[in-house]
Amino acid sequence: MRDTSISVESVPKILEDIYRLVEKLETLFPGRRFTPDGHLEGSIGESGPVSNAWAAAGKMQKNWQRPISVSKLKRLMNEIGHESRIKVVV
């Protein structure tokens, strides 16, 4: 169940905090990389409007994932209004 005390608008700030912590860990442990993985990024992406992507994705696999190509995701992204997208953090 989703925690309603935290809004989707807080995602950019949370991501900034994650990357700030990554920098601190890499400072504490020189030469060691602490990169957020694709699973984390994919899960964050699920916070956006997903109904179109879910409908366009392939059949559920044994690992509970549904494949979808990047080109298909790009096409679907162009169909979503800017007001419905998660803000880009640079």
Q: Within 13 Å, how many C-alpha atoms sit on residue 12's CB side? A: 7
pTM attached to this predicted model: 0.50
Which of helix, strand or coil describes residue 35? coil
Task: Give mean pLDDT, residues 50-77.
Answer: 87
Amino acid identity for residue 18 in this structure: I
- The pLDDT of residue 15 is above 70: yes
- The pLDDT of residue 70 is above 70: yes
Map out the domains of the chain as residue ranges.
Answer: 7-47, 48-90
Q: In the chain, what percentage of residues exceed pLDDT 70?
A: 90
Where does the pLDDT of residue 11 fall: very low under 50, low under 70, confident under 90, or very high at 90 and above?
confident
Amino acid identity for residue 43 in this structure: S
- The pLDDT of residue 32 is above 90: yes
Q: What is the pLDDT of residue 88?
A: 73
